[in-house]
Chains A and B, each alone.
Chain A
């Protein structure tokens, strides 16, 4: 596997650190006067999402991580694994619960999402920023209330619970921002 010198470090680069694949968020040169230079690097552990900071001696090299991000179609969940398919090659991948994590509450059959593969195995799933899902359960709203003030919880077809305005009813399709988990609007028919 290739390796990268600290001189090549830049945002988005994927490296191996203590056995885990990481992505560089920020790389700062720290150079005291005429002394030894260091690289202070902020990284995200791609397996657990944790952010860490670490200093390296400038000129040091780190092993590159074989990480790719691919657009994939979500197929189904067999009870243990979540199955995805590449839309062009039709290659299929199965991701476990840990990799899918929070993304699962937004995944609807056939939906597109981003799969992060490390050594060709899925380690994380990123849902699209916006999803449109049907409301499977919510209290009936008050007739005539269109303000949406206050709102009420609604359970979506994937199991996610979001706050929606009072006028939104069961069976309607709503648009949700998956990054914040917030209701955006009713989906246009």
Chain B
């Protein structure tokens, strides 16, 4: 049998992707944001408890394994610490076991950092970029900015910052998810992930862009804590039509705090049986030397293409998704 060799997406999508990349590059060029490249194959990898990575084996001379990056974040921050000024990158990122309608284990990511931007300024920047790359219909209404606690309360009736298992359980049952109790148990973070992804997310960005900010501090991130309310972080997520498109932070620059979060995440990985990793010492050294005040965000470009082309699965925008890569 001849294996199927043809692209999974249409030729039109291949052209749309080229156009999108061109528009992104023009946008950042005009804004004086420098395009950079960092390695895909790295000596260290993120400690995020729920990101699974690919690693190499059978290297010559007993070298340590290398990791396919789950995000270019650490390397880009090392560049920022070396005084590059604002930078962006279009690259591939890899996440094992993420395969489905909205996921391919290898995906295209746009990541950028803006010096001296706070989270609100970063959101302005996202809106501006999106106005260059997305169809006009997404701008008929003003982009929505809503804090996590408010949007969570709006759709679940619950307080995201105060975990009361019985209240959470009652709400889940009322909203049609009786299994949540068994899945989440007494883990506040898992409850938030469950309720947000199953109940809240589908309502976000129906008419245009929706940005949710100030995530509860218990959700893992590299964002700094809010100065006025340390229960929330300076983190933003971007949604259109219920699809999560990006994740950004007013970046944590405190090396000690970052080290502590790595240690917590490494412990959590151990607890949930995730593969063992060590903290990225080069990244920590760069933080120690001094990361300039900045905000940064990563946007999934394949999903942006899904939105532009109105397709409903990621395979429709990829030339060769994992199953025929």
Contact = CB atoms under 8 A, between A and B. Distances in A.
Interface of A: 7, 27-38, 40, 54-58
Contact of A34 (B183, B196, B197, B220): B220
A54 B198 CA distance: 11
Interface string B78-122: 000000000000000000011111110000000000000000000
Given A38-B183, A38-B197, A40-B198, A31 B98 contact: yes
Given A32-B197, A55-B180, A55-B194, A37 B189 contact: no
B214 interface: no
Contact of B97 (A32, A54, A55, A58): A58
B52 to A, nearest CB: 9
A86 B88 CA distance: 65
B219 interface: yes
B244 A33 contact: yes
Contact of A29 (B48, B51, B102, B177): B102
Contact of B247 (A7, A28, A33, A54): A33
Given A37-B98, A38-B197, A58-B97, A32 B183 contact: no
B198 A55 contact: yes
Contacts of B198: 30, 38, 40, 55
Contacts of A30: 197-198
Q: Considering the complex of A and B, which 4 residue pairs feature the smallest CB-CB distances, nearest first? A: A29-B100, A35-B193, A32-B197, A36-B193
Contacts of B190: 36, 57
A139 to B, nearest CB: 49
Nearest to B102: A29
Nearest to A35: B193
Interface residues of B, number: 29
A31 B190 CA distance: 11
B103 A36 contact: no
Contacts of B50: 31, 34-37
Contacts of A56: 179, 183
Nearest to A29: B100
A54 to B, nearest CB: 5
Contact of B201 (A7, A28, A32): A32
Interface string B286-308: 00000000000000000000000
Contacts of A34: 48, 50-51, 219-221, 247
B315 interface: no
B237 interface: yes
A29 B313 CA distance: 12
Given A32-B244, A55-B183, A38 B102 contact: no
Contacts of A37: 50, 97-98
A112 B221 CA distance: 59
B183 A35 contact: no
A42 to B, nearest CB: 13
Given A30-B198, A37-B50, A55 B177 contact: yes
Contacts of A35: 50, 189, 192-193, 196-197, 219-220
A32 B219 CA distance: 11
A29 B101 contact: yes
Given A38-B183, A55-B179, A29 B197 contact: no
Interface string B34-58: 0000000000000010110000000
26 contacts: A7-B97, A28-B101, A29-B101, A31-B98, A32-B193, A32-B201, A33-B219, A33-B247, A34-B219, A34-B247, A35-B50, A35-B189, A35-B196, A36-B50, A36-B190, A36-B194, A37-B50, A37-B97, A37-B98, A38-B183, A40-B198, A55-B177, A56-B179, A56-B183, A57-B190, A58-B97
